[in-house]
Structure 1
Amino acid sequence: MRRVLVFGGLLVLVVLGPIFVNGLNPSMNDDVLGLIVFKADVQDPHGKLASWNEEADTPCNWDGVKCNPRSNRVSELVLDGFSLSGKLGRGLLQLKFLHRLSLADNNLTGSLSLSLGQLTDLRTIDLSQNSFSGPILSDFFQKCGSLRSMSLANNKFSGEIPGSLSSCSMLASLNISSNQFSGQLPLGIWSLHGLRSLDLSDNLLEGEIPKGIEGLGNLRAINLSKNKFVGEIPDGIGGCMLLKSIDLSENSLSGGLPGSMQKLSSCTDLSLRSNAFTGNIPDWIGELRSLEVLDLSENNFSGELPTSIGKLLSLKILNISTNTFSGILPEPMSGCENLLVLDISRNSLSGKIPSWIFRLGLQQLIFSENRLNGSMDNAFAASLGNSRQKLVILDISHNALSGEIPSAIGDFSSLQILNLSRNSIGGGIPLNFGQLKSLDILDLSQNQLNGIIPLEIGGATSLEELILEKNFLAGNIPISIGNCSMLTSLSLSQNDLIGPVPAAIAKLAYLQYVDLSFNKLTGTLPKQLGNLGHLLSFNISHNQLQGELPAGAFFNTISPSSVSGNPALCGSPVNRTCPTVLPKPIVLNPNSSDSTPGSIPTNFGHEKKILSISALIAIGAAVVIVIGVIAITVLNFRVRSSASRSAAALTFSGGDDFSQSPSTDANSGKLVMFSGDPDFSTGTHALLNKDCELGRGGFGAVYRTVLKDGRSVAIKKLTVSSLVKSQDDFEREVKKLGKARHSNLVALEGYYWTSSLQLLIYEFVSGGNLYKHLHEESGENYLSWNERFGIILGTAKSLAYLHQMNIIHYNLKSSNILIDGSGEPKIADYGLARLLPMLDRYVLSSKIQSALGYMAPEFACKTVKITEKCDVYGFGILVLEIVTGKRPVEYMEDDVVVLCDMVRGALEEGRVEECVDGRLQGKFPAEEAIPVMKLGLICTSQVPSNRPDMAEVVNILELIRCPSQGQDELGGVY
C-alpha cells in the first residue's frame, strides 16, 4: 500500500508541479518526493543515486544528501562528479530548507528555467563544470538575499549578466568564468558590498569597466581577464584596500596605472598582461610591499625601470617582457632576494649584464631581444655557489654581447635551457659544458665562435637540441655526440667543419632534424643513418661528400635541395647514377709459355679465344648433372619426411637461437621456435577447442595450450591473413619482435606460417588483464596504490625498451596489459601492426577500434607521421585510467565524458585529488598520486612534440617516489 501511495504522490508531483504538494498525504516527506522527482529528470549511468529509494521515510542516509540533525530536513545536496546528465528539474524546489546545492562536474544541460529564489535558505550554489546553456533569466536571482556563494563557471551560458544580480546583497563569492556572457558589466554589481571574490574571466564582456568599484570594500580577488574590456582602469580601484589578487590580463585596456592603486598594500598578485597600457611604471609601485607576482608583459609601457622596484622584497615573479623599456636594470633590484623569475625580454634595455644578477638565486632569467652589450665575465664571476644550483633557464639571446663564454657557466648544474644565440660572442666552447647533465637545449648559434666542438660535449647526455649554426667552428664533428642519446635536433650548418659524418650519429635514435649544410665535410655517409626512424629533415647540402646515399625510408624520399652542392654524391635524389664497381677479372691465356701461374701475358690481344667450344659444352654438361643430383636429393628428402609431417602438422624442433621445421610446403607450413625444445602435448586440437580460447582482439583470437614439458603457452591465431605481409617480410618482422626480451613484456616464443594461417606463440601469463582488475573486480579485490604505481612504472619501462628497439606498440590499452602471478605488468600485442603490408590508418583503426580513447589525435591525420609519441599518448590515458579507475571514455545517454578532459578540468580547479579511484580514498599518498596524474596529462598533449619520451617518463616516475624531488619537477613541467 505504501508503494502505491509513494508512486501516486510522485506522479502528481511530476505532472501537476509543486503547487499540489501540500495536498499530499501529510506523512509523506516533501524532501523525499522532491529528490525522487529530481532523480527522475536525470540519467545516472554509474548508479551513484542507487541509494535513493522512494519508500524511505527520510533521505538523510542517501548518498550526497545531508540533513539538519535538529529538523531532520535536507540541508545539503552535494553530487559533484556523479556523471549525471539531463535537466535541472523542479523537484529541487521542494527542498525548502536547503542551504547548499552543489552539482559541479557533471553533464547537466539545458537552461536555468527555475527560480531558485524560492529556496529562501539557500546559501551556496555550485553548478560549475556542466553544459548548461542559454541566457540566465532575471527571476533566477529573485529572493536571493540569503545567497553567499555562487559558481556557474565552465558552462555555456550566454547573453548579458542580469541586472537583478544586485538583489543578492549578501553574496561573498561570484564565479561565472569560462562562459559566453556578452554585453557590458551591469553597474549593480558594485552594490554587492559583501563581495570578497569576483571572477568574470574568459567571457565576451565588453565596454569600459564601470566606475564605482570602490563600493566593494571587502573585495579580496578580482579576475576580469580574457574579455574585451576597453578604456582605463577605474581610479576607484584604490578604494578596495583589501585586494590581494588583480587579474585584468588579455583585454584591450589602455592608459596608465591609476595613482590610487598605491593604496593596495595587501596586493600580492597583479597581472595586466596583454593589453595596451602606456606610460612609465610609476615610482609608487614600490609601495606595494606585499607583491609576489607582477606581470606587465605585452603592453606599450616605456621609459626606465624605477629604482623603487628594489623595495618589493616579497617579489617572486617579475615579467615586463614585450614593452619598450629602455635604460639599465636599476641597482636596487639586487635587494629582491626572493625573486625566482625575471623576464625582461623584447625591450630596449642596454648596458652590461649586472654583476649582482646571478647572486639572486633565480630559477629563470630571460634577457633576450634587448641591447645588452659587453662581456659576461664579471656577472658570472660574481655568482655565488648556492645560486648556481638553482638557475634552470638562461636566455640572453639576440643582444650585442661580446667577449668569450665564461667557463663558470659550466658550474650551473641545474641548467636545462641555455640560449646565447645571435650575439657577437667569440672564442671557443668551454670544455666543462659536458658537466651540464640536466641541459636539454643548448643554442649558441649566430655568434663568432671558433675552435673545435669539444669532445666533452658528449657529457651533456640530456641534450635534446644542439644548435651551433652560423659560427666559425672547425675540425671534425666529435664522435662523442653519440652519447647524447636524447637528441632530437642537431644543427651545425654554416661553419668550417671538416672530415666525415661520424657513424655515431646513427646511434641517436630520436633524431628528427639534422642540418650539416654549408661546411667542408668529406667522405661517404654512414649506411647506418638509414636506420634512423624519426628523421624529418637531414640537410647535408653544400659539402664535399661522395658516394651513395644510405638506404632507408627517409633517404629514399629525401628532398634534392637537402643533398645539393655535393658533386660526388650519387643516388636518385641528386639524379646521378652510382657507378657499379666490379673486381677485375683474371684471364688465363692457354697459349702462354710463362711458367708463373695466373700471369697476364704482355702480348694478350682480343683476337685470342679464351675457351674452346668443346670446353663450353663440357661445362654445360657438368652443370646439368649437378642440377639433376640436387633435384633427386630434394625429392627423396620430401618423400622421407612426408609421413611424419602429415601425422603432426605442428611439431616443434629445438635449437639455439632459432629452430624451425624442415619444410615450408603448403600442407605442413613452417614452424619456428626462438629457444628451447618444446613439443605440443595437445597439438592443433587446442586451436579448434572453444574451451581453450582466452579471448579475442583486433588481430585475432588467443588460445591456451600445454607443451610436453608441462609449460603453458598462449597461441594467437591471426585473423588478418589477407592483409599480412609476404612470408619473408612476415618472418623478418616476427623475428625482430622475438628478440625483444624484457621482464615487463609478454615474450614471443615462436611462430607458424602458411599462406592461409599464421600463428604467434607467446608465453602464458596467468593473472588476467589490467582492464578486468580495474573495472570488473568487486569487494576488497581492488588494486592498491602500490600495485597501481608498480603497474604504471613497469609499463613505462617496457615501452621505453620497445622504443629503444624502434618498435612501436600501436595498440596500447588496459586489456593488453597482463598481470602475472607476482602482480608485475606484462605488455602484450606489441608491434603487430608491422605485420601488415603498410601502416594504413583506416585498416589499423578498424583493427584496434576497441582502443577508442587511447588513440593519439594524429592517428586521424594522414599528414602527421605516426611515431613513438602515439604510444606516449596511449600511456598517458592508461595512467589516468589506472589512478582514477574510470574508463577512457564513458558514454552517457545524452553526453560523453572524456577522462583526460575531466582530470584536466579538475586539476585547473584544484580538485584533482578527488579524481583518484574512490576505492583508494584515504589509502594513497597525494604527493605521488597528483604528480602521476599531471604526468598522464602531459603525455596526452595534443601536440606530439610536447609529449615526453618514454625514457623521460621512467625517470620522472622514479623521481616521484622521492617526494622532495619528484613533485617539484612535475609541478614546473605542467
Structure 2
Amino acid sequence: MLYKLVVLFVVLAPAIVHCLDPVFNDDILGLIMFKAGIQDPKDKLTSWNEDASSPCNWVGVKCDPKTNRVTELVLDGFSLSGHIGRGLLRLQFLQILSLSNNNFTGTISPDLAHLGSLQVVNFSGNKLSGDIPDGFFQQCGSLKVVSFARNNLTGNIPDSLSLCSTLVSVNFSSNRILGKLPSGLWYLRGLQALDLSDNLLEGVVPAGIEGLYDLRAINLSSNRFSGKLPWDIGGCFLLKLVDFSDNFLSESLPESMQRLSSCTSLSLRGNSFTGEIPNWIGELRDLEILDLSANNFSGQIPNSIGNLPLLKNLNLSMNQFTGNLPESMKNCVNLLAVDVSHNQVNGSIPSWFFKPSVQSVSLSGKGVGESPEYSSLTSIAASYQGLQVLDISSNAFSGEIPANIGVLSTLQFLNMSRNRLFGSIPAGIGELKSTYVLDLSNNRLNGSIPSAIGGAVSLKELRLQKNLLTGKVPTEIENCSSLTSLILFQNNLTGPIPSAIANLTNLEYVDLSLNQLSGSLPKELTNLTQLVSFNVSHNHLQGELPVGGFFNTISPSSVFGNPSLCGSVVNRSCPSVHPKPLVLNPNSSDSSPGGSSSQNHHKILLSISALIAIGAAVFIALGVVAVTVLNIRVRSSMSHSAAPLALSGGEDYSCSPINDPNYGKLVMFSGDADFVAGAHALLNKDCELGRGGFGVVYRTVLRDGRSVAIKKLTISGLIKSQEEFDREVKTLGKIRHHNLVALEGYYWTPSLQLLIYEYISSGSLYKHLHDGHNGNCLSWRQRFHIVLGMAKGLAHLHQMNIIHYNLKSTNVLIDSSGEPKVGDFGLARLLPMLDRCVLSSKIQSALGYMAPEFACRTVKITEKCDVYGFGVLVLEVVTGKRPVEYMEDDVVVLCDMVREALEEGKVEDCVDGRLRHNFPAEEAIPVIKLGLICASQVPSNRPDMSEVVNILELIQCPSEGQEELE
C-alpha cells in the first residue's frame, strides 16, 4: 500500500507543483517554449532545463528576489537564430527584454509591448524584416526604451509611436524605413534620445521640436531629408548631440541654434547649407566636435571659433571658405584634429597649427604654404611628433622633404602630393613604421627610391607617381608585406621589375607605366591572386607575358607601348626557342667535340621540338575531326527540334505548340500564345535584329498583332534543366519597369530555347550614339533622360536582387518616345553556375564595360559590377565615344581619357562635340564626375544604383527638368 502511494506521488508531483504555483511555472514554460523555437549553435542556453525548479539561475535570466518572477531576459550576442516566439508573452512581469546582436529573423510581434511591466525592448543587430507594427505602440504601457536598430525593417514609422508618452529613447537606425517623419514625435515630451539615422526617410523635418525639453541627442543622419533645419531647434536647451549629416538640407543655420549652449557634438556634414558660419558659433562653449564639411558654406572662417576651448575635432573641409585661417584658434587648447581641406583658404599656416597635441591635420586645398615663413616642411616634422594624420596635398609647399621625417613615428597617413617639393626622398622615410598610406606624388622629387623604404613595414599604399625619380625599383619593397597599392607611373625608373614584387601577395593595384623599365616580366607575378589592375604600359619590357591567373585576362592597354613584349594579349607571337637536337649515334665512341664530325657513321637526329610539334599536330587533327562530327550531330538535332517553329513560306502555322505533344513548350505570360502564319520563317535570317553573347535576336509577329523580339539562346550546352529554366525565366518575366525590356514568354525544347521580349522599334543606344549623323544627334536633354532612365531600370533590377552582368550600349534600347529600356538582364541566371570564366566568354563583346572584378577570382561578383558598367555607359552617352577606341598607334580607354581631362581642368572638352557647346555645364560636369565614381576600380567606392538615381535627380536643373525632349 505504501509503495502504491509513493508511485502515485511521483506521477502526480508535476501537477501538484503546478497547482501550488501555476504562475511561477508560466515563466519556465514561456522560456522553454522560446528556446524550442530557436537555434543555439554555441550552446549558450544549456542551463535552461525544463526540469528545473526555478529559471532564476539560468543564463541571461534575472528575477525579482521577492516574487521570484522573471524581470529581465538579456541574451545579447549569443549567436541565436530563428523567430522570436510567442512564448515570451507568458513572462507577465518582464521589464527588460534584450536580444541584440544575434541572428533572429521574421517580423516583430505587436503583442510583445503589451506585457504589463515591459520597460526596455532591444532587438538591435538582428535580421528582422517587415514593417514596425502599428499595434506595438498602441498599448505600450510603461515602455521607456525601444531599439530596433541594424535590422532589415521597412515601411513607415507608425503614427502610434506618439501615443507612448513614457518613451525616453527611440532607436530605429540602420534599417530601410521609408516615408516622412511623423510630427507626432514631438509630443513625446519625455524623449531624451532619438536615432533614426541611416534609413530612407524624406521630406522636411517638421517644426515643433522645441517641445522636447528633455531631448539630449538627436541623430537623423544618412536619410533624404530636405528643406531647412527646424527653426525652433534651439528650444531643446539640453541637447548635447546634434547630427543631421548626409541629407539634402539647405539654406542657412537657424538663429535659434545659438541657444544650444550644452551641445558637445554638432555634425551637419554632407548637406547643401549655404551662407557664412555665423559668429554665434563661438557661444556654443561646450562644443568638442564641429563638423560642417561637404556643404556650400562660404566667406571667412569666423574668429569666434577661437572661443571654443573644449574643441577637439574641427572639420570644415569641402566648402567654399576663403581668406586666412584665424589666429584666434590658438585658444582651442584641446584641439586634436583639424581638416580645412578643399577650400579656397590661403596664406601662411598659423602658429597654432604647430602644437604637439594635434594628432590629425588636413590642409589639402589651394594656396596654403605660399608664405616664405612656412613654405619649408622642416618645422612641421620638428613640431608634430605625436601626429597620426598629415595631409598637406594640393598646396604650394616647396623645398625638400626634411631628413628628420622619421621622427613622426606615430604617423599613420602622410599625403604631401601635388606640391612643389624637390630633392630626393630621404632614407628616414623607412623609419615610419606605423604609416599605412604614403603619397608623395605630383611633385618634382628626383633621385632613386631609397632601399630604406622596406623599413616602412605597415605600408598599404605607396604613391610616388608623376615625379622625376630614377634608378631601380628597390627589391627591399618586398618587406612591405601589407602593400595593396604600388603606384609609380610617370617617372624615369630603369632596370627590371624585381621578382620580389611577387612576394607581395596582398597587391591589388600596380601601376609602373610611363617609365624606362626593361627586361622581362617575372613569371612569379602570376602568384598575385588579389590583383585587380596591373599597368606596365609605355616601358621597354620584352619577352613573353606571364601566363596564368590575372594575366590571362589583362587588358591590352595595360601592356601597350612595349614593342618587344609578346603573347596572345598583345596579339604578337613569341619567337620559337628550339632546343639543341638530341643526337643518337650508337656507333660513336669519341666524346670529344670534334670526334663525331670526323667519322662517317650513320646518325639518328631526333629533335624534341619536332616531337612536340608532331604530337600537337596529331592532337589538333583529332580535335578537328571530333568537333566536326559533334557539329554535324548538333545541327541535325537542332534542325529537328526547331522544325515545329519554322514558318516557311507555304506552311500553315495554325496549331499552338502548347496543344501538340510533338512541339516544345511555349509559354506566354499574357496575350495570345501563338505566332502569325506568314511568308517568313520564325527564325528567318531576314528577320534578324542582332547578335550578342547569349544568342541571336529575330523579329516576328504574334497572332494578336503585336511585334515581338525572339532571342534564340546559344547556351544550350550550359542551360539548366527544364524545371530550373522555367523557374528562372518566370522570375525574370515578373519584372516590370518602364525602363526595362519586358520578357513576354519563352519556348523550350531540350536543344532549343527561345526568349520572347517586347519589340522596341527605335533601335539600340549604340545606334543612336555611333551610327547616327549630325542631323539626328541626341540632344543633351535626351542624353540626360537616357542616363536617368538607365539608372532607374538598374536600380529596380538590384532591388529585385537581379544582377545584369552584361551592360553595354547595344543592350539599351530606345522606344518611340525616347524612353531608354535596359534589356538582356539576368540571363546569367540561366547558367548552371555563375562561373566568371563562362560569363567572361559570354560577355566578351562588352570590352570596356566589364568591371575589374571579373579578372580576379577572389573578388565577389556583386551589383557593383553593374554600377561599373553603368559608369562607363554614362561616359559613353556624354562623350559620344566608345569605351575603348583603337587608333592607328594607340588605344584610348574612355575612363582614363575623361579622368585625365578632369585632372587637367578640361572636363568640358569631353562632352560630345556634336552638341556644339549646347549643353548646361552645371549638369554635364557633375554627370561626368558621377560616371567616373561609378567606374571606380574599387567596388566599395561605387555608389548603389538607388543612390545614383537620387544624385541624378539632384543634378537635374529644375528649369530643365520639365522641358520636353528635344
Residue 376 of structure 1 contacts residue 403 of structure 1 at CA under 8 Å; is this kept in 2?
no
| Match status 1:114 vs 2:111 | yes
Q: Is the 8 A contact 1:548 1:578 kept in 2?
A: no
**What is the CA deviation profile of residues 471-521 of structure 1, one whole-angstrom value per residue up to 9, with x for unaligned ones?**
223344445545545444333332233444455555655545443333334
Provide closer, same or farther for how the CA distance between residues 240 and 401 of structure 1 changes in structure 2, counting only shifts above 3 A: same
Per-residue CA deviation, residues 212-256 of structure 1 (Å, 9 max, x unaligned), is: 222211121112222232222223221222111111122222222
Match of 2:242 in 1: 246
Structure 1, unmatched stretches of 5+, are 11-24, 586-596, 601-608, 622-839, 845-860, 871-942, 947-974
Using the TM superposition, name which of 395-404 and 217-226 deviates more.
395-404
Letter paired with 1:189: L
Quick one: distance in 1 between partners of 2:404 and 2:463?
20
What residue in structure 1 maps to residue 307 of structure 2? 311
Instruction: Choose which of 490, 493, 511 in structure 2 pairs with 1:515.
Output: 511
Contact 1:338 1:360 in 2 (8 A): no
Q: What is the aligned counterpart of 2:433 among 429, 434, 437?
A: 437
| Distance change >3 Å, CA 43–CA 6, structure 1 → 2 | farther
Indicate yes or no: 2:572 matched with 1:565.
no
> Which deviates the most, 535-544 or 437-446?
535-544
- Please state whether the residue corresponding to 2:62 is helix, strand or coil: strand
Partner of 1:832: none
Retained in 1: the 8 A contact 2:288–2:312? yes
Number of the residue aligned with 2:39: 45
Map Cα deviations across residues 87-115 of structure 1 (whole Å, 9 max, x no partner). 542x5555444433334445253342327
* 1:855-887 Cα shifts (integer Å, max 9, x gaps): xxxxxx9936356999xxxxxxxxxxxxxxxxx
Which residue in the other structure is 1:287 paired with? 283
1:442-495 Cα distance to aligned partner (Å, 9 max, x none)? 222222223343444444344333322222233444455455454443333322
Q: Which residue of 1 aligns with 2:347?
A: 351
Query: What does 1:25-36 align with in structure 2 at a 5 Å threshold?
Result: 27-33=20-26, 36=29
Q: Is the 8 A contact 1:29 1:57 kept in 2?
A: no
Q: Residue in 1 aligned with 2:231?
A: 235
Q: Which moved more, 1:526-535 or 1:321-330?
A: 526-535
Q: Distance in 1 between matches of 2:100 and 2:450?
A: 58
**Pairs within 5 Å for 1:305-454:** 305-374=301-370, 377=374, 380-383=377-380, 388-454=384-450
Determine helix, strand or coil for the equivalent of 1:466.
Answer: strand
The match for 2:490 is 494
CA distance in 1, matches of 2:92, 2:522: 81
Q: Pick from 163, 168, 172 the counterpart of residue 164 of structure 2.
A: 168
* Partner of residue 601 from structure 2, selected from 610, 616, 626: 616
Query: Does structure 1 retain, via aligned residues, the 8 Å contact 2:377–2:401?
Result: no
Structure 2 residue matching 1:359: 3-state secondary structure: coil
Match runs of 1:724-743 below 5 Å: none
Q: Which amino acid aligns with 1:257?
A: L
Displacement after TM superposition at 1:178 (Å): 3.1
* Map 1:722-871 → 2, pairs under 5 A: 863=854, 865-866=856-857
Letter in 2 for 1:29: P
Question: Cα RMSD (Å) of the superposition?
Answer: 4.4
How many angstroms apart in 1 are the aligned matches of 2:525 and 2:69? 75
CA distance in 2, matches of 1:521, 1:36: 76
Q: Is the 8 A contact 2:400 2:424 kept in 1?
A: yes
In the alignment, what sits opposite 1:604? none
Query: Does the 8 A contact of 2:567 with 2:573 survive in 1?
Result: yes
Secondary structure in 2 matching 1:333: helix
Which range is displaced more, 209-218 or 44-53?
44-53
Taking the aligned partners of 2:478 and 2:39, their CA distance within structure 1 comes to: 54
For residue 405 of structure 1, report the CA deviation from its aligned partner: 3.0
Q: From the superposition, tell whether residues 529 and 285 of structure 1 become closer, same or farther in structure 2 (CA, over 3 Å).
A: same
Counterpart CA distance in 2 for 1:279 and 1:549 is 57
Judge conservation of contact 2:285–2:307 (CA < 8 Å) in 1.
yes
* Residue 610 of structure 1: how far off its partner (Å): 6.9
**Residues of 2 paired with 1:247 and 1:186: CA distance?**
18
What is residue 189 of structure 1 aligned with on the other side? 185
| Structure 2 counterpart of 1:116, one-letter code | A
Offset of residue 523 of structure 1: 5.0
DSSP-derived class of the 1:188 partner: helix
Q: Secondary structure at 2:400's aligned position in 1?
A: coil
> CA separation of 1:5/1:490 partners in 2, compared to 1, >3 Å: closer, same or farther?
same
AA of the residue aligned to 2:428 = N
Q: 1:869 to 1:843 in 2, by over 3 A?
A: closer
TM-score (norm 1): 0.54
Letter in 2 for 1:33: D
1:202 aligns with: 198
The worse-fitting range, judged by mean Cα deviation, of 161-170 and 195-204 is 161-170
Contact 1:293–1:316 (8 Å) recurs in 2: yes
Question: 1:146 maps to which residue?
Answer: 142
Q: 1:512 to 1:271 in 2, by over 3 A?
A: closer
In 2 relative to 1, CA 257–3 (structure 1 residues): closer, same or farther, beyond 3 Å?
farther
Amino acid at match of 2:113: L
1:863 match: secondary structure: helix
Give, as a single letter, the amino acid of the residue that structure 1 aligns with 2:324: I
Q: Which residue of 2 aligns with 1:957?
A: none
Superposed displacement of residue 306, structure 1: 1.0
CA contact (8 A) 1:32 1:54 kept: no
Q: Which amino acid aligns with 1:229?
A: F
The Cα shift of 1:311 comes to 2.2
Aligned partner of 2:109: which letter?
Answer: L
The verdict on how the C-alpha distance between 1:384 and 1:440 changes in structure 2, with shifts beyond 3 A counting, is closer
2:375–2:399 Cα contact (<8 Å) kept: no
The alpha carbon displacement at 1:373 in A equals 4.5
Distance 1:267 1:460 in 2: 41
Classify the secondary structure of the residue corresponding to 1:249: coil
- Counterpart-to-counterpart distance in 2, 1:415 and 1:4: 74
1:85 aligns with 2:82: yes
1:307-356 alpha-carbon deviations (Å, 9 max, x no partner)? 12222222222222222222222112233232222222222222234444
Instruction: Measure the CA separation in 1 of the matches of 2:439 and 2:151.
Output: 44
Are positions 1:273 and 2:269 aligned together? yes
- Look up the equivalent residue of 1:578 and give its one-letter code: P
Task: Give, as a single letter, the amino acid of the residue that structure 2 aligns with 1:865.
Answer: C
Counterpart CA distance in 2 for 1:520 and 1:268 is 55
Q: Report the Cα offset of residue 43 of structure 1.
A: 0.8
| Distance change >3 Å, CA 209–CA 523, structure 1 → 2 | closer
Q: Deviations over 1:687-718 (max 9, x none)?
A: xxxxxxxxxxxxxxxxxxxxxxxxxxxxxxxx
Q: Structure 1 CA distance, aligned partners of 2:30 and 2:593?
A: 107
Q: AA paired with 1:435?
A: E
CA contact (8 A) 1:132 1:157 kept: yes
Deviation at 1:394, TM superposition (A): 1.9
- TM-score by length of structure 2 reads 0.55
Q: Secondary structure at the match of 1:326?
A: strand
Count of matched residue positions in the alignment of Structure 1 and Structure 2: 602
Q: Distance in 1 between matches of 2:593 and 2:31?
A: 104
Q: CA deviation at 1:305?
A: 0.9
CA gap of 1:234–1:535, structure 2 versus 1, over 3 A, is: closer
Contact 1:29 1:58 survives alignment (8 Å): no
Counterpart of 1:342 in 2: which secondary structure? Answer: strand
Specify whether residues 56 and 253 from structure 1 end up closer, same or farther in structure 2 by C-alpha distance, changes over 3 A only.
Answer: same
Contact kept? 1:358, 1:384, Cα under 8 Å: no
